[in-house]
Amino acid sequence: MNNWVVTTLQRVMEKVAAENQRLDGKTPYIPYDGFYSDVMLERGSDWWANGFWGGLLWQLFNYTGKLELREAAIFQEKRLDDALATFRDIHHDVGFLWLLTAVAHYKVTGDQQAQRTGLHAANLLAGRFNVDGNFLVSWNDQPGWVIIDSMMNIQLLYWASEQTRDPRFAKMADRHAKTVAKYLVRADGSVGHIASFDAETGRFLTQLAGQGVGADSAWSRGQAWGIYGFALTYRHTRDQTYLAVAQRIADYFIAQCQLNHYIPLADFRAPKVPKLVDTSAGMIAACGLLELADWLPSAEEKPYRSAAQSILMATADQYANWQTTEDGIIGGGTEAYHRPATYEVPLIYSDYFFTEALLRLEGQALFLW
């Protein structure tokens, strides 16, 4: 396994170096006809996935020390300043945007402006807290909706409490996590995508359909956000409740993945036709499974670590594109079940989490959450 990880990381570095030259400062998302465009021009500076390329660059700079990666990562962070300055459509995804850019910059170099940017983002996230429902509002146009993805973004609040020694950020994150665990994580370990609450009273109403098939389905990327998000929340709180929730979701995810040779379907409860996979769910889950394994007793952690390795190797074998003349490493990502234009394509966050998982296996990952 170690030889495979080292060899694969070398291929990642070669590919990213070529992509970085071609991009010349653009922010990637999906390569069309084999090449990245600039997603900031297409979907705006506040698009939720705009931090993943910067995060990938920081991970590889931390691993290699190559200055061109650091400079490119800082440039990506500065591009995001427009989203903070104009505040057009910032949602709960500030964690995805600035943990992987400004906070990474601060962690690696100690840059004080980067720290201030990260804290600014954390204050914007804290401002989304519904005090009656104990949740952070996910989307601006739906003040009573909470999505499972939020479990990754609340990690920014834990970081902010550590930096400021102000417990309010962490308390909001903790209350939100408990709400998500209660209303989005089901008894069998499957996870709903959207929980709807009465915005005025905070009363739970129902689960809603989102990027999966329907309200009662099991969108695989949502399962992956749940594994990693609750495992990270345990890291920050040491509350065993979160570790147990992460383990329950992980058990469900692994059992479902094994049915398709460790490549997750886009939704584990989807109709048999069309058969859609989402490799991005596998890459996120691999990181979550490795995080979970780190906190379990040695007698319990092996199945999770083994599953992560199986997912990574199966995905690389079937979906990796190592041609340095084309953009995107991991194909087979499905943005949303009801969005055919983005069925089984390379997604920038697949590449980020694939690389983070490899670095975790090497003991070389920069912790950004």
Q: Which residues are catalytic?
A: 93, 149
The answer to whether the CB of 277 falls within 8 A of the CB of 342 is no
Q: For residue 285, count CB atoms less than 10 angstroms from its CB and return exposed for 0-12, middle for 13-18, buried for 19 or more.
A: buried
**Which of 184, 186, 204 lies closest to 144 in space, CA to CA?**
204
Strands 129-130 and 135-136, by their bridges, are antiparallel
Q: Can you name the residues that pair with 197 across neighbouring β-strands?
A: 204
CA-based end-to-end distance of the chain:
26
Beta strands in the chain (DSSP E): 31-32, 35-36, 129-130, 135-136, 145-147, 194-197, 204-208
Q: Is 251 left (phi over 0), alpha (psi -120 to 50) or beta?
A: alpha
CA distance 319 to 339: 20
208, β-bridge pairs: 194
